[in-house]
Structure 1
Amino acid sequence: MSARPSFLRVNEKPLKERRDIMTNKSNETAIQHIPLAKLTPWDGNVRRTGASEGIDELAASIKAHGLLQSLVVRKGKRGKYEVVAGRRRYLALKALLKSGAIGKDYPVACRLADEELDATELSLAENIVRLAMHPADQFEAFRDLMDGGSAIADIAARFGVSEKLVAQRLRLGRVSPVILDAYRKGEINLELVQAFAISDDHAAQERIWSELPDWERYPRTVKRLLTEDEIPSSDKRVRLVGLDTYIELGGPVRRDLFEAEDSGYVLDPELLDRLVLDKLRIAASAVTEEGWRWVEIVSELDYGRLATFERRYAEPAELSDEDQAELDALTAEYDGIVDTDDEDQIERLDAIDSRIDDLTAKALRWTDDVLELAGAIVSVGHGGDIRIERGLVRPEDAPAEDAGSSDVDHDADEPAVKLSARLVEDLSARKSAAISAELAKRPDVALVVVVHALALGSFYTYARGHSCLELSASVPAIGQSLYDADGCIDLNELETVRESWLAKLPQNPGGLWGWCLEQSHEVLLQILAVIAARSIDAVQSKGMAEGASELLHASAVAEALGIEMAGHFTPTADNFFGRISGKAIGAAIAEAKAVTLAPGWSKMKKAELAALAEREIAGSGWLPKPIRLSNSDDLDHGDESPNLKAAC
């Protein structure tokens, strides 16, 4: 057997002899109190990494509780003592000396090391032969201090940590003992304990713990189940009112101490709705003074509701020289700092933007005829602002007009495979929104799409159904077909593009022709792309054949754009798997993973199976058939599983 490396040969004395020396000497050597000024660090201390970390916290603890563990020293040169074990405690004492909390003559409890013992071994023993306190025990200890009457600020000061850290430890200490026990046993990690800490209800925590299978115990899932009846601070209504305002008026909030400081969950929806209504009423009062025939308050205004109104528009008005000069200056300032990341400049941008809106409104004039005929709707905008739609004419107030129908009757056979009509409509609406969002970025393709659609109507008879484009006065209400229109990124992106162009176009359609004549070819192509994008309708509505020509053309447009739907939609338990049958879920997993389902999966509850499917299929690129564009979106598993067809 080869000799041990030198770095392991700490002390070659027999183990029993070393143990006897340490035992006897430790009993004989009493604690000595040595002035701090006579102590000096020993250069051979084995802890070299992280030795200076947490010194402030340790210093605060020593100041509050005293030195709970003595230092081990040996005699050095010129009457000094070298600290062999307890270097961090020594550094903490030096920090207290520097702050003026103690003096140079502060008596430090020390034990003099036996000269026969190797100092390196002592230093190594102190750093290795100890067991750190489990975090769960820390949580409960902080909780017991609080229950014993200690304030958060006092605890923080005594241990040299932030009040937020103490609050976090207290919150974790109040998690159900069942959850903490699982954490102690290593069955779950700290992030999951933090998720359970969002609620103080032990019964709810334990119910979710027992109902959720191991593979579904994710922090996001736990938080969602514990707060399903609460309103997150990201909700547009909360953003309109302001979370601070809601709290100042007595609104209870459940804080998530492990997220951003301004996050939380609103617990009083009735109070929130009243505050939202108050905001909308103030705005509506100002709009009413403008002289409209009617003003209505609607907390949620969707595209379908707006589509029921005719529109009237304001006429351009001249700004005063003073207002025009201010508008020009603000516009130039905005353009100069719009790309900044500076927080102060961002606040300035918001202020400029608001003032530009005010000045722009002055450049429009509503005629008396329009005010007598039309009204306005005041609602909450997507960004948590006040949204005002003016110039709306109710159907009963508008002059009667003949209405035509251009519906195309598709008498194709019903597809052999069918998801629910509502789900198919939702999925295909997502596809339609994705195509629109991409088409708006590609004027070259948009030009081809528009010319194709116009040529069909001009040169061919009854050929309109061969294009997915709806070049008409109305825009397809894709949002009505979506399960979660507000959460559809593509639809929101398209709306942002539309709003940016609305700010540039004349408000009155009568001035659009002259404006267009003055624009460059490039600008017209950009507008054309947006027009084409907003006209896309690839929704497979109820009764429409799967192979309808509009849908086939939609896939052709998507192929020209190079769209990959996997980048626009990910099937989850919420948006897909939870809305189909258990057999269909199993078939989807089998198709996506190219495996045969284990027999036990068929015995799972639907919710469990849906969550499993979300986890198993994540990252595979698999998509439900209604949202696929072409064969490029299919996996290399052949045609769609017959089991999926039958089960859906």
Structure 2
Amino acid sequence: MTSRVIPLDQLRFGHEAEPPINARRVGRDDSIAELAASIAAHGLQTPLKVKEGHDSDGVVGVFVGTGNRRLAALRLLVEQGQTAPDAPIECGEFDISVDAREAALAEQIHRVEFHPADEYIEFRELADHGLDETAIATRFGIDPKRVKRILALGRLSPVIIEWWRGEAQSNEVFATVCAFTLAPSIEDQEKLFKKLEKQRDLRAWAVKDALGAGNQKAARHIKIAGLEAYKAAGGHMTTDLFGDNHVIADPDIAEKVAEEKIAAVITGLKAEGWSWVSMGADLDYYWEHGWKREKAGDGKATADEKKLIKKLEKAAAKNTAGAAAELASLQKSIADRQWTPDQLGKSGAVVKIGHHGDVDIVRGVVKPQAEKKAASASGAPKEKGPPTISNALHQRLSAQATLAVRQALKQEPHVGLVALLAGFFVHRHLHTDSPVRVYHDGFGKTHSQEKESFASVFARLMDMTDEELFQVAADCAAEAVHMERGHIGRPPFDADAAPLAAAIDADHLTLALAENFDTADYFGGASKPFVIAAIREALNDDEARKAEKLKKAELTAFALANVPQTGWLPPELRAPTYSGPGAIPALAEAPPTEPDPDFDEIEGFEDEDEMEDA
């Protein structure tokens, strides 16, 4: 191959030639910025390969056969002012006896990809020799967050790196490798690796579980108090660089600082002068959607006050002297501009804690008894409105409208799906005027903090594609699942639930069941015969006979250490697609339909309107 130097502005992309000589069609523009940064820092490491030719208009030029992404990166450097438009570029020429397009294809086919482990170790070497994370990010055009991930993987134990190299590349293997970065030291990594390898359970969730990652309760407490407050109190946490399964080393400290944060918030609200302050969880369910709220005035915190509030909140979280008092005083002065003395006297403030630990304050909430008392005290006569038709006639007309909409909607499948989804979203609230009412009776049903109108949800969903709508429908169906059973005669995977479970991807369902199976609760709570039966199914008869001689505490510890990694699940969790140790229970004939004792039913009301009126 001969070589020569060609000005950059004379080079053209291979796919512009006639016929094209560039084999790559997909990914031509991928990661160009990163490649440009690398070329700017390290120079052009591999010459371009070119061939003279012409384009579809007959214009003669020099076209790049291999190295078109490098050409795109060089042009980007010109746009950024880092390279001259006519900068000399070293290029190799295809042998005239070889078809350039065929040669470019051969080079792409026989290229061997760099194993990720080798790449990350090289980056680690750069860091070990003094190149900090910022410099690596700049010189290679890599996002700083990704640099942290790369270095964490590059610093893994050589034992894990070698295992990684020997495994077929897959998302599952990579997830397992990433999970080991949560271990506090290489020694801990190797110890856990050897244990799980012996148990043949090198799965990401098993690694995380062994390291204590994913403590959602502790994570919620830290979200309430703030990470800085947790650390200031002496708490430690290993951050999950690849997700949110952080290892929280001191859950007791997390709970303590969360309680202190909530107490400080309540103290601040009381200082504002509200007639009462309460946690949302301590109030009647209907307070959020049924109780009246006073409207705040125009008083708002200024930009400087907002900055000061954040500063004081951080200081108060660190127990800085006087910070909490100053914060309460500032919040009261701002509140005084927003709320009148009359409003403060007849309404209160509610502290809401979200599922993930978000703290929200709702001010101006009026309790129903206070509202009635104020109305009776006024003694003002009610004004008569315009004449109306009777309630009975109104009901009959609305029924006729309902039947008409049903009839028309059957001819509009897309609109019908949108209406179904919109109705599902908005009918989380009993006090709704949604024309489509889809009830939320799934297990552990929750209620969104913000109420959205049917019209707004309908408009949002109408803009979605069919694929997006079907995904939303799947999400709605998932939220409506309810398989909780109150007595042993009704297994979760009964004759009705079995077809649904069988239709779900077996791997997805098995993984979900394993992740949600509380092993400590089961083996600690089940009687000795059940634990021994599990050991017999998961391990063997010999181990079961040995286990019979153990005391309950020893038996529980042995089961926890040896059974879960086999994939064993109790019969109650064995779906039709279960493939672990033990047989799948045979389905009994479905019993006659009877009222579900696990379902909250209020007798005497035919619909929600009657419930509300009551």
TM-score when normalising by structure 1: 0.48
- Measure the CA separation in 1 of the matches of 2:103 and 2:563: 57
Change (3 A) 1:563 1:235: same
- 1:203 shift after superposition: 2.0
Aligned-partner residue type, residue 146 of structure 2 = L
Match of 2:158 among 177, 200, 209: 177
CA–CA distance in structure 1, aligned partners of residues 539 and 254 of structure 2? 47
Kindly state the Cα deviation for residue 251 of structure 1 after the two structures are TM-superposed.
Answer: 5.1
Aligned to 1:348: none
Indicate if the aligned counterparts of 1:585 and 1:610 stay in contact, CA closer than 8 A. no
The residue that corresponds to 1:69 in the other structure is 46
Q: Quick one: which amino acid aligns to residue 9 of structure 2?
A: A
RMSD: 5.7
Residue 477 (structure 2) aligns with: none
Query: Residue 196 of structure 1 corresponds to which residue in structure 2?
Result: 180
Aligned to 1:56: 33
The amino acid across from 1:184 in the alignment is R
Mean Cα displacement is larger for which, 265-274 or 210-219?
A: 265-274
User: What does 1:115-514 align with in structure 2 at a 5 Å threshold?
Assistant: 115-186=96-167, 189-213=173-197, 215-227=200-212, 235-246=219-230, 252-259=236-243, 264-269=246-251, 271-282=253-264, 285=267, 324=294, 362-363=345-346, 384=357, 385=359, 493=445
- Give the whole-Å Cα distance in 1 for the aligned partners of 2:342 and 2:202: 53
- The aligned amino acid for 1:614 is L
Contact 1:589–1:613 (Cα < 8 Å) also in 2: no
1:39 aligns with 2:20: no
The equivalent residue for 1:620 is 576
Higher-Rg member (1/2): 1
Distance 1:113 1:538 in 2: 73
CA distance in 1, matches of 2:543, 2:232: 50
Whether the aligned pair in 1 keeps the contact of 2:539 and 2:563 (CA below 8 Å) is no
Kept after mapping to 2: 8 A contact 1:139/1:170: yes
Change in 2 beyond 3 A, CA 1:280/1:115: closer
Deviation at 1:538, TM superposition (A): 9.1
SS in 2 for 1:92: helix
Structure 1 residue 41, shift from structure 2 partner: 2.5
CA, structure 1 residues 258+277, in 2 after alignment: closer, same or farther (shift >3 Å)?
A: same
Relative distance call for 1:159 and 1:361 in structure 2 (3 A) is same
1:620 partner amino acid: P
Kindly indicate whether the alpha-carbon contact (under 8 Å) linking 1:578 and 1:610 is maintained by their aligned counterparts in 2. no
Deviates more, 1:238-247 or 1:193-202: 238-247
Identify if the C-alpha distance between structure 1 residues 85 and 273 changes in structure 2 by more than 3 Å, giving closer, same or farther. Answer: closer
Distance 1:587 1:271 in 2: 39
1:92 is displaced (CA, Å) by 1.7
Q: Which residue of 1 aligns with 2:517?
A: 572
**1:102 partnered with 2:72:** no
Hey, what's the Cα distance between the residues in 2 that align with 1:152 and 1:76?
Answer: 44
Cα deviation, residue 364, structure 1: 6.5
Distance across 1 between alignment mates of 2:10 and 2:295: 75
Cα distance, 1:302 vs structure 2: 11
Could you tell me how far apart the structure 1 residues matched to 2:352 and 2:50 are?
A: 74
Whether contact under 8 Å (1:240, 1:386) holds in the other structure is no
Counterpart of 1:606 in structure 2 is 559
The percent of aligned pairs where both chains have the same amino acid is 27
1:106-151: per-residue Cα shift (whole Å, max 9, x none)?
1111122221122123212221222111000111111111111112
1:253/1:265 contact within 8 Å kept: yes
Amino acid at match of 1:610: P
Equivalent residue runs for 1:72-83 within 5 Å = 72-76=49-53, 80-83=61-64
State the match for 1:438 in structure 2. none
Shift of 1:492: 5.1
- 2:576 is aligned with what amino acid? S
Q: Distance in 1 between matches of 2:499 and 2:22?
A: 60
Check the 8 A contact 1:232/1:265 in 2, yes or no: no
CA distance in 1, matches of 2:590, 2:535: 19
Aligned match of 1:584: 530
| Contact 1:585 1:613 (C-alpha < 8 Å) held by counterparts | no
Question: Per the alignment, do residues 379 and 86 of structure 1 end up closer, same or farther by CA in structure 2, a change over 3 Å counting?
Answer: closer
* CA distance in 2: counterparts of 1:128 and 1:565, whole angstroms: 46
Distance 1:325 1:98, change over 3 A: closer
State the secondary structure of the residue aligned to 2:90: strand
Residue type at the aligned position of 1:606: A
Query: Which residue identity is paired with 1:276?
Result: A
**Inter-partner Cα distance in structure 2 for 1:141 and 1:574:** 41
Alpha-carbon distance, 1:67 to partner: 0.6
Q: Which amino acid aligns with 1:279?
A: K
Take 2:142 and 2:269, find their aligned partners in 1: how far apart are those partners? Answer: 52
**CA 1:195–1:362 in 2, change beyond 3 Å: closer, same or farther?**
farther
Q: Residues 233 and 243 of structure 1 are in contact (CA less than 8 Å); yes or no, is this contact kept in structure 2?
A: no
Aligned mates of 1:170, 1:360 — CA distance in 2: 57
CA–CA separation in structure 1 for the residues paired with 2:24 and 2:352: 63
Q: Distance in 2 between matches of 1:208 and 1:285?
A: 46
- For structure 1, which segment, 183-192 or 60-69, has the greater mean C-alpha deviation from structure 2 after superposition? 183-192
For residues 21-41 of structure 1, what are the alpha-carbon distances to aligned partners after superposition, in whole Å with 9 as ceiling and x for unaligned? xxxxx4xx3x42211122223
Q: Is the 8 A contact 1:35 1:105 kept in 2?
A: yes
Write the letter of the residue equivalent to 1:259.
Answer: G
Report the TM-score, using the length of structure 2 for normalisation. Answer: 0.50
- Alpha-carbon distance change, 185 to 629 in structure 1, aligned in 2, over 3 angstroms: closer
Q: Do 1:565 and 1:629's aligned partners in 2 also have CA atoms closer than 8 Å?
A: no
Question: Residues 209 and 566 of structure 1: is their aligned pair in 2 closer, same or farther, counting only changes over 3 Å?
Answer: farther
Q: For residues 597 and 195 of structure 1, do their structure 2 counterparts lie closer, same or farther at Cα, with a shift above 3 Å needed?
A: closer
1:292-319 Cα shifts (integer Å, max 9, x gaps): xxx9x99xx999xx9xxxx9xxxxxx99
Q: From the superposition, tell whether residues 565 and 113 of structure 1 become closer, same or farther in structure 2 (CA, over 3 Å).
A: closer
Q: What SS does structure 1 have at the residue aligned with 2:104?
A: helix
Question: d(CA) in 1 for partners of 2:125 and 2:159?
Answer: 18
Q: Secondary structure at the match of 2:23?
A: coil
For 1:435, the equivalent position in structure 2 comes to none
Alignment of 1:507-546 (within 5 A): none
Residue 179 of structure 2 aligns to which amino acid in structure 1?
A
Any unmatched runs of 5+ in structure 2? 15-19, 285-290, 298-337, 363-427, 431-440, 451-483, 502-508, 548-557, 592-614
CA contact (8 A) 1:582 1:606 kept: no
Q: Which has the bigger relative contact order, CA under 8 A and spacing at least 6? A: 1
How far 1:82 sits from its partner (Å)? 2.4
Q: Conserved in 2, the CA contact under 8 Å of 1:75 and 1:81?
A: yes
